[in-house]
Amino acid sequence: MEFRNINTFLSVAELQSFSKAANKLGYSQSNVSLQIQQLEQELGVPLFERTGKSIRITEAGQDFLFYANEIQRLNRQALNTVRIPKEKKDRNLCGQLRIGSIESIATAILPELLTDFHRLYPQIQVSVCIESGDTLVDKVRNNEIDLFFILDEKMTIPNMKRELLSKEEIVFLSATPCRNEYGTAISVDELAKKDFVLTEPGEGYRKQLDRLLGEYNQTITPVIEFANPETVIQLVERKIGLSFLPYFCAEEKIKSGKLFPLETVAPRIYMYNQIFYHRDKWVTPQMEALLDFIKSFFGVTSK
């Protein structure tokens, strides 16, 4: 199996076009078609369905996509490792790591985590991709990232390994200490009447809020929706409305008295920081170092 053919396959899969892949790689279109045919003959399965001028990756092609990305990545890593002087290899781990994350973890946790990791392993290059949970799952399946962080209910994902990191409370936030007119905890009916600034629907804790409201036959129409939790917190500080966010996102503001968790009659909601990676992925030394560091950072005891 030639690296050239694998690289061509990845380009065709990315661009969904033989002609566009040919332009990108500097080949003729017939050469691209030949390389894909050679790869399909080796694997014994069609990788693309060809209908007129359009193509679509097959189920077998989608399965091969993960391994093709892994082969390409390991090839680059092998070349980089050999080219690095021996004294540097002996002194530090090196290479590249590709991390995925949702917004809340990326803004509130990753800066400190990656700063500390970089101090220990300055030769390891880390790139971070911030996407929705569903997109991160697809990127791991296609081997476009090595692992991802998510905040959600405890869950399993087919063909993925999981590490539970921490249990987190999701809280209602206000710019002022807020109770009802009788000085008692706020009911869900009262909450639903207030202005809210929320993260976009469909993700982790926003789904939990919608579920909670549904149990009380209530809904909230936010005055502003914003994907970035830091921006949401700034808007709450400006008294635009209340919000519903992980406690860790607003911990510093709460401790400094700039924001306040609301007392409500609703049950407390907890979610879990988790990391996932593909079960078939080769865990490189640098990835193993990161996984060990993450567990240490969160105080997870190895089993």
- Give the whole-number percent of the chain exceeding pLDDT 90: 38
Q: Quote the mean pLDDT of the chain.
A: 86
Per-residue pLDDT tens digits for 29-73: 888 888 888 888 888 889 888 877 788 889 888 888 888 888 877
| pLDDT for 198 | 92
3-class SS string, 92-156: CCCEEEEEEECHHHHHHCHHHHHHHHHHHCCCEEEEEEECCHHHHHHHHHCCCCCEEEEEECCCC
Q: What is the CA radius of gyration of the chain?
A: 24
Query: What pLDDT score was predicted for residue 182?
Result: 44
- Residue 277's pLDDT band (cuts 50, 70, 90): very high
Task: Give the burial class of 181: count Cβ atoms within 10 A of its Cβ; 0-12 exposed, 13-18 middle, 19 or more buried.
Answer: exposed
- Does residue 302 surpass a pLDDT of 70? no
pLDDT at residue 221 in the model:
87
Q: What is the mean pLDDT of residues 137-148?
A: 92
Kindly report, residue by residue over 212-247, the tens digit of the pLDDT. Answer: 889 999 988 899 998 889 999 999 999 999 999 999
User: Which tokens sit at 213?
Assistant: 């409201």
Query: pLDDT digit string (tens) for 168-178?
Result: 999 999 998 76
**pLDDT tens digit sequence for 99-132:** 999 988 998 899 999 999 998 899 899 999 999 8
Tell whether the model's pLDDT for residue 180 goes beyond 70.
no
pTM: 0.67
- Per-residue pLDDT at 86 exceeds 90: no
Give the model confidence (pLDDT) of 149-161 as tens digits.
Answer: 999 999 999 999 9
For position 87, what pLDDT does the model report?
Answer: 43
